[in-house]
């Protein structure tokens, strides 16, 4: 569950501008503020089922956006490559060729 929550938080960060205000609010309350479905339903004066359905539809939309745009995947790849670069720079022996190759890999992501 924690992995799904983390993924949804990232997808929300990347794609929230593509959501309606209600979708943004429900997702923010549920994933970022840790509200229960019942608490969100009470806040909006709707049924718990309506909140659940909205969140599930929004999750599916976020996954579709990621499938098409790959912003999260590219972010993960960039983060991994930057970690490698940092490790190479901190190493005592020079890794000039490896650093250049890592930089080229990062450039290919955009």
pLDDT at 15: 98
Task: Name the CATH architecture for the domain at 2-69.
Answer: Orthogonal Bundle (1.10)
Q: Above pLDDT 70, what percent of the chain?
A: 97
Q: What is the pLDDT of residues 8-43, one digit of tens each?
A: 999 999 999 999 999 999 999 999 999 999 999 999
* Cα dihedral across residues 16, 56, 23, 44: positive or negative: negative
Please report, for the chain, the start and end positions of each structural domain, with discontinuous segments joined by +.
2-69, 73-108
Task: Specify the pLDDT at position 84.
Answer: 85
* Residue for token pair 């549920």: 30
Mean pLDDT of the chain: 91
């Amino acid at each position: 569950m924690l992995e799904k929550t983390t993924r949804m938080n990232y997808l929300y960060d990347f794609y929230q501008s593509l959501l309606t205000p209600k979708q943004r609010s429900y997702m923010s309350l549920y994933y970022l503020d840790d509200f229960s479905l019942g608490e969100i339903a009470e806040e909006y004066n709707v049924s718990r089922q309506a909140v659940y359905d909205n969140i599930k539809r929004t999750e599916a939309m976020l996954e579709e956006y990621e499938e098409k745009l790959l912003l999260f995947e590219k972010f993960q790849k960039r983060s991994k490559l930057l970690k490698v670069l940092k490790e190479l720079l901190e190493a005592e022996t020079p890794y000039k060729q490896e650093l250049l190759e890592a930089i080229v890999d990062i450039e290919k992501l955009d």
